[in-house]
């Protein structure tokens, strides 16, 4: 039988984006000969790199490529070079527009502590053991997209900056169903995070999540205020299974949670919608270390594993990629961000090659 085609739009973006996606591409290229799917990779330009050429961070041909592909793999966007640009053409805008235009409302950010890295975290190893959290972040609503927004001058000469925190019940219902389904396939434990004691938009969030929860009596639902959640994540992170939260709170809590794994370079993500999907590490473009072959490509490689699981329906192969990463860590290989004395310090390239080598062994 002919192999099914699967097209991937690859957007390396800015800063370390190019180096880390290169390693993920090595993994995809290796897999291409091994799995029952024909991967078609097409590269495009987004972010500051695209702005420099086209004057816009998301040129129409890149958006078109994303819309026509079965999945998107993205590195990172942004950097000091573009920091003074208008919001409408900042590199970050490419990411936000891709999320919105592809309808990627569900952002999954798994946070798993690797046994080998327990001692690289700034937190005590004993509170990290067994941590395995899935953060489900709503990705196309909230203050990120709410209107009105902007900075303007009032008649009395004062400047005001406005952003609008806004959710409709439909947006909340959609992501809540998604999170309950995920909890069902894990430990049936869902914590919904809001600030319902102060913010009306999240009071609605709490009410709708509670309502949706009636359809999932097998899932244990509880609610937590975001300030308390921020504290609980470093006090006792092992208490969490699935965390469901809003766009802004999810952005903040996922950076915090990344520290449970030792480095923000470790965390992958999947952004899913009804018709499209995008995969990217949760970290930024790290311009300070770009081009030095020291960035950690693991978050991007693990994003490929998520692509195999969620977009190609290849959970076994996804597991093998995760195993290959684990083996690389067991072998003592570390990029600078997760290095401790006694480890083998390697560059971005060498780490990527080690994962492919381990993957090859797992396939043989």
User: Which CB atom, from 203 or from 256, has the smaller least distance to ligand IPM?
Assistant: 256
State in angstroms the smallest separation of the CB of 361 from ligand IPM. Answer: 33
User: Which CB atom, from 92 or from 350, has the smaller least distance to ligand IPM?
Assistant: 92
Interface size with Mg ion, residues (CB under 5 A): 1
> Would you count residue 280 as binding Mg ion (CB under 5 A)?
no
- For the question of residue 144 being annotated catalytic, the response is yes
Q: What are phi and psi of 286, to 5 degrees?
A: 40, 60
Strand 220-225 relative to strand 189-194, pairing: parallel
State in angstroms the smallest separation of the CB of 118 from ligand IPM. Answer: 24
Task: Find the part of the chain contacting Mg ion (CB under 5 A) among 190-198, 210-218, 248-256, 259-267.
Answer: 248-256
Alpha helices (H) in the chain, listed in sequence order: 17-32, 48-54, 60-68, 91-101, 125-128, 169-184, 200-213, 226-235, 247-258, 298-310, 315-330, 348-363
Question: Which residue number has the CB closest to Mg ion?
Answer: 251
- For the question of residue 227 being annotated catalytic, the response is yes
Report the candidate in 233, 17, 260, 6 with the shortest Cα–Cα distance to residue 115.
Answer: 260
State in angstroms the smallest separation of the CB of 116 from ligand IPM. Answer: 25
> Would you count residue 251 as binding Mg ion (CB under 5 A)?
yes
β-partners of residue 220 are: 189
Distance CA 244, CA 137 (A): 6
- For the question of residue 154 being annotated catalytic, the response is no
The catalytic residue among 5, 38, 64, 227 is 227
Alpha helices (H) in 71-225, listed in sequence order: 91-101, 125-128, 169-184, 200-213
State in angstroms the smallest separation of the CB of 329 from ligand IPM. Answer: 24
DSSP-based three-state secondary structure for 42: strand
Binding site for ligand IPM (CB under 6 A): 78, 92, 95, 251, 282, 284
User: Which CB atom, from 172 or from 282, has the smaller least distance to ligand IPM?
Assistant: 282
What DSSP designation does 2 have? P
Q: Which does 95 bind (CB under 5 to 8 A by kind): Mg ion, ligand IPM, none?
A: ligand IPM
User: Which CB atom, from 12 or from 250, has the smaller least distance to Mg ion?
Assistant: 250
**The token pair that represents 264 in the structure block:** 């923000």
**The token pair that represents 281 in the structure block:** 């590490």
State in angstroms the smallest separation of the CB of 62 from Mg ion. Answer: 21
Give the footprint of Mg ion on this chain (CB under 5 A): 251
Residues recognised as catalytic: 144, 195, 227, 251, 255
């Amino acid at each position: 039988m002919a192999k099914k085609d699967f097209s991937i739009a690859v957007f390396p973006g800015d800063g370390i984006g190019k180096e880390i996606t290169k390693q993920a591409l090595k993994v995809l290229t290796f897999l291409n000969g091994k799995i029952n799917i024909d991967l078609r990779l097409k590269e495009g330009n987004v972010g500051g790199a695209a702005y420099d050429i086209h004057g816009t961070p998301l040129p129409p041909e890149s958006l078109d490529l994303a819309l026509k592909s079965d999945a998107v793999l993205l590195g990172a966007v942004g950097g000091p070079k573009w920091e003074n640009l208008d919001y409408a053409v900042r590199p970050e805008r490419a990411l936000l527009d891709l999320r919105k235009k592809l309808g990627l409302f569900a952002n999954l950010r798994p946070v798993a502590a690797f046994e080998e890295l327990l001692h690289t975290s700034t937190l005590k190893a004993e509170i990290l053991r067994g941590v395995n959290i899935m953060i489900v972040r709503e990705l196309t609503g909230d203050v990120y997209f709410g209107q009105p927004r902007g900075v303007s001058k009032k008649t009395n000469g004062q400047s005001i900056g406005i952003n609008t925190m806004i959710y409709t019940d439909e947006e909340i219902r959609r992501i809540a169903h998604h999170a309950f389904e995920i909890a069902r396939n894990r430990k049936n434990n869902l914590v919904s995070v809001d600030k319902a004691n102060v913010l009306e938009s999240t009071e609605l969030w709490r009410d709708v999540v509670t309502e949706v929860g009636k359809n999932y009596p097998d899932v244990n639902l509880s609610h937590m205020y975001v300030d308390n959640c921020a504290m609980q994540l470093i006090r006792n992170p092992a208490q969490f299974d699935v965390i469901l939260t809003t766009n802004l709170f999810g952005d903040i809590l996922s950076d915090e949670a990344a520290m449970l794994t030792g480095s923000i370079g470790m965390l992958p993500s999947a952004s899913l919608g009804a018709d499209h999907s995008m995969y990217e590490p949760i970290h930024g473009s790290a311009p300070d270390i770009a081009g030095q072959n020291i960035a950690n490509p693991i978050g991007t490689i693990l994003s490929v594993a998520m692509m195999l699981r969620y977009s190609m329906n290849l959970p076994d192969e996804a597991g093998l990629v995760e195993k290959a990463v684990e083996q690389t860590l067991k072998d003592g290989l570390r990029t600078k961000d997760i290095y401790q004395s006694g480890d083998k310090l390697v560059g971005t390239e060498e780490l990527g090659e080690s994962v492919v080598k381990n993957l090859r062994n797992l396939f043989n």
